[in-house]
Amino acid sequence: MSKTEVLAKIMLGPVLLMQGVYTRRVTPRLPEAAGERQGLAGNGEALRLLILGDSAAAGVGASTQAEALSGQVVSRLARDYQVCWTLWAQSGLDSQALLALLEQHAAQPFDVALLSIGVNDVTSTVSDTQWIARQQQLMDVLVDKFGVRLIVISPLPPMHLFPALPQPLRWYLGHRALRFNAQLSRLADQQDRCTMLTTHLAPVAGSMARDGFHPGPAIYSIWADDAAQVIARQFGNTASGTL
């Protein structure tokens, strides 16, 4: 925990707590995107894709999976690959809960895992040491149990720009998200099978869901573009010239 964060908790603790409770109460609870959570799409070299994580991975903020991260990244990859894809995601998951979810699934092989997790860790009391340890555990399980050849890590979003969060809670959570991202980037750099996206997901007018907290289809599109380009580059197939 940084000195800034410690000082903020000491001086602003009651305010941050009240704002957190208030924000949870008034923020609309949006459903996960409707639609299939596994399928086969496209032609070409086989690519087994796992998309996993929290509410953003589950497509909250989009009406259907076709408009969400899963559908948009699959549609892009399907231009060059035969994509056998699976989505394991649930609203409210933090890193520890995602580890538990992975334990529930039987071992099966995937070429790529696209990971979105961390916002619920940022809003909790988990320390940065615990956070990084759990990211390492997730990477180990994906490689050891599921044979993943490439883990594509999504950065935490710019929470300091989330319109649903009042100040100073927005500043505080944004500071934690930026610090967690910096540590996550360093961890990814140390792993042979990992890469971290550089997606810039700053919200602009009309790009976020109506709750002011989750991505809308426009942000999912940018995210999917970046992920598809990284995956195609890693696996050496950009025949269509569109990825």
Residues 6+ apart with CB under 8 A from 141: 99, 102, 103
Q: What is the pLDDT along the chain (243 residues), one digit of tens a residue?
A: 666 666 666 666 777 778 778 787 877 889 999 999 999 999 999 999 999 999 999 999 999 999 999 999 999 999 999 999 999 999 999 999 999 999 999 999 999 999 999 999 999 989 989 999 999 999 999 999 999 999 999 999 988 888 888 899 999 999 999 999 999 999 999 998 999 998 877 777 678 888 888 999 999 999 999 999 999 998 874 333 343
Q: What are phi and psi of 163, to 5 degrees?
A: -65, -20
Q: How many Cα atoms within 13 Å fall on the side-chain side of residue 21?
A: 5
Tokens at 101, concatenated:
């979810």
**Rg of the Cα trace of the chain?**
18
What is the C-alpha to C-alpha distance for residues 85 and 38, in angstroms, rounded to an integer? 5
Helices 95-104 and 128-144: crossing angle in degrees, nearest 10, is 20
| Helix, coil or strand: residue 195 | strand
Q: Domains in the chain, please, with CATH?
A: 3-27+38-235 (3.40.50.1110)
Question: Which candidate, 15, 29, 67, places its Cα nearest to that of 213?
Answer: 29
pTM for this prediction: 0.89
Task: Calculate the dihedral angle through the C-alpha atoms of 69, 109, 135, 234, rounding to the nearest 10 degrees.
Answer: -60
Residue with tokens 């609870």: 29
DSSP 8-class letter at 207: T
